[in-house]
Chains A and B, each alone.
Chain A
Amino acid sequence: MTTGLFRWKAILPFLLVTGLLAALWLLFGAEFVRRSSEDYATTTLGTEVDIGGLAITESRSRVTVTGLQVADPYDRSRNLFEAGRIVLDIDPVPLLEKKLVIDQMELTGLRFMVPRRTPAREIKSVGIAQRVRTQLGDWKHQFDVPLLSLTPIDTIKALVLDPTKLGTVQAAQVLTRQGDSVRKALETAIGAVQPGPVIDSARALATRLAATSPARLGVQGSVQAAADLKRALDQLGRVKQQVAGLGQSAQSGVKLLGQGVRDLDAAREKDYQFARGLLQLPSISAPDISYLLFGPATASMFEQALYYTNLGRSYLPPGLDPLRKPGPTRLRMAGSTIAFPKLKAWPTFLLRQGKIGFRFGGDSTAGAFSATVQGLTSEPAIYGRPTLFGARGALRGAVPLSVELGGALDHVTATPRDSLRASLAGVPLPAFNLPGLPYRLTPGRGEASLAFALDGDRLRGAWSLHSAQLSAALIDLAQGKPQTPLQALVGRVLGGVQSLELDARLGGTISKPSLQISSNVGDALAGGIRNVLGQEVTRAEARVRAEVDRQTAQAVGQAQKLVAGVEKNLGREIGLQSDQLSKVDTLLQAQLKRYAGGAGGLLKLPKIPS
């Protein structure tokens, strides 16, 4: 047996195996790439992606894709778009670094929202797209659009109030307790001061000295009298300070109770609203009704815009930090694959320039509509420029139609900024099922515009629809007719509205969005409801107020009486004591002047307490 380092006779089988692999690539490489691309795109976009065919021309670094279908993640029965043919001219050098740089892309035969023959499969794998969808799962529910309440008018006659649930009663009980507490505290404090003996003693001294004269008492006696007067004045001053402190405490207590009385008014207003809610009165505010009618559809539309924007941010992140994503699917654990981008290198993916020809509406000419995309890259910080995209085109003829779209994904800096604007004219507008109502609005052809921007986490959006061909139809055919008088009213109002003017504004942040909607349909419906229900609603509201007042009258009366008692009685008591103290103080001061003068000015007059 030899023990040389190399086994030369194994070289040939190894080369054969290598050659076999190369042959397999030539035979099945394109199919392998097609399937891998399908899987990768499906995971990336979170929706089924099908590729009809794929051909690789190695000599020209060209890949040709045909029959691309991308299912709509929000409606699996249709394709978001289909592309007839895509030609990708690939820069071969970055491939050495496992990076895909597409110099030029030409896409033809693009069509949008095409019904699928079979529904797309549900994608259950946990990828970035699924995570973005999960994060956004409850986003539109933040708008909390309730159903338009159109209960029969009869229900507003029924009102059952539970007094314990009324805030006014609770506030009155709190106020009563507070008033009682303030009263007891002040009475205790007044009892502790006990000014009576001091006043009596001082008054007796003043009376005794008034009955005699300094000359009769002599110098020694006058000095003693003046010293007694000074001591009495000091004692009186201390009591006056205590009574003044009591007065301030009383004022604070009364102020607190006054706030409690004002809180009673606020609580009563809330009780009116609460009781009004029990009546299930329909809203008659036009913005409210527009919001109720078109809120869900508008929120869904903005949610889709936000989904694609967030998806873009996940795949095209700002900065140069390592980017983690799930590893490849295999029998073993996938682990995580981490990209380490750096400046002055190729990004992992870059599409420098793409030209897209697409069909829209009834376009059969091909070439009327075109779109471009520039600088689409997985590492925008390396590329250093925002991704720009746009589309435009127009059809003339019996049904003129035009499309204009533009946008930018600026992820170059740490704070990404994304924007999209689109305007379409002559296109069929989406139909609306009115939430909670058995009606469907079909706007027909019209104009639509959308502007959406996400700056950091700040949202700005505007959506408007205009159509002069609005029609409404009852869709609850099982019933065949409206169920309530108000549903019939809605039907009559909608029958008289021939156009649609819808304007929606989105603002706030992703976590705290705000949405305002106005529409001529909402205005008309609000007017109709107001005409029919106006008087009934006014009467019902008056009854609500009366009932709330009746339920809360006793508790409020008790509280107010107690507060008034505290204000009046304690104020009078403190005032009385202050008056008596002042009078005695005056008497003592007068006697002090007499006896201090009698002592030949030997005594220094005390400083009169303020």
Chain B
Amino acid sequence: MLALLKLLQSVFATLHSEGTPRQVAWGMALGTCLGLTPLVNLHNLVVFFFLCVFNVSFGGGMLGWALAVPLGFALDPVFDRIGNALLMNPGLRPMWTAWYNMPGVPYTNFNNTIVLGSVVAWLILLLPLYGAARWGVARYRATWGQVVMNSKLYHAVSASKLYNVYRWFRPE
């Protein structure tokens, strides 16, 4: 229930933030990586760093993460097949071998089928995700945004303490 409330809060906060549709869309596209790929990996630290220091919507990132988590679980078998096909491809073996024996790179766990498959899938989806999110946010703000903002539900959510924490990271 709490998770659902948080998600709802995140959705409202993001859609009605001061960030531009572009900032929100980049945030969501980056945040999707956190949910689509196994979380405890080096590439996600980099993505998290980007979400923090680049002027994109942090809330959008959290929203993208939350929405992508169930998708990531569901698509794991697909990621496994993609990763397996790439890692066992004889043409790519010299590259994997070089990466595997390169300082630092093995800590990315690129040689795990799920990690590689999901990261590759996310990279392929990054621009389409960004485009779809940007169009969706702009469209929402132009149509339903004002109605929702005047609703009691929105005021209740935005008044919670979590919203204050979120404000640290909202786009400037």
Contact = CB atoms under 8 A, between A and B. Distances in A.
Nearest to A344: B101
Interface in A335-363: 335-342, 345-346
A97 B102 contact: yes
Size class of the B contact interface (CB-based, 8 Å): 35 or more
Contacts of A1: 18-20, 171-172
A335 B38 CA distance: 11
A7 B55 contact: yes
Interface residues of A, number: 34
B52 A13 contact: yes
| Residue with the highest number of chain B CB atoms closer than 10 Å, among A333, A335, A340, A346 | A335
A2 B114 contact: no
Nearest to B95: A340
A98 B19 CA distance: 41
B38 A342 contact: no
Contact of A7 (B53, B73, B104): B53
Contact of B49 (A14, A98, A345): A14
A322 B88 contact: yes
B106 A97 contact: yes
Interface string B70-97: 0011001101100110011000010011
Tell me the dominant secondary structure on chain B's binding face.
helix
Given A322-B87, A340-B97, A345-B101, A4 B73 contact: no
A338 B80 contact: no
A340 B93 contact: yes
A345 B106 CA distance: 14
A138 B4 CA distance: 52
B144 to A, nearest CB: 22
22 contacts: A1-B171, A3-B23, A3-B55, A6-B54, A7-B54, A7-B169, A10-B53, A10-B169, A11-B53, A13-B52, A13-B168, A14-B53, A96-B103, A97-B101, A97-B103, A322-B88, A334-B114, A336-B80, A338-B96, A340-B96, A342-B100, A342-B101
6 tightest Cβ-Cβ pairs between the two chains A and B: A335-B114, A98-B106, A333-B76, A96-B103, A335-B113, A340-B100
Interface of A: 1-7, 9-11, 13-14, 96-99, 322, 327-328, 330-342, 345-346
Given A335-B113, A335-B117, A340-B93, 12 more contacts: A13-B168, A13-B169, A97-B102, A97-B106, A322-B87, A322-B93, A332-B76, A332-B114, A334-B114, A336-B112, A340-B111, A346-B101
Interface of B: 18-20, 23, 38, 40, 49, 52-55, 58, 72-73, 76-77, 79-80, 83-84, 87-88, 93, 96-97, 99-104, 106-107, 109, 111-115, 117, 168-169, 171-172
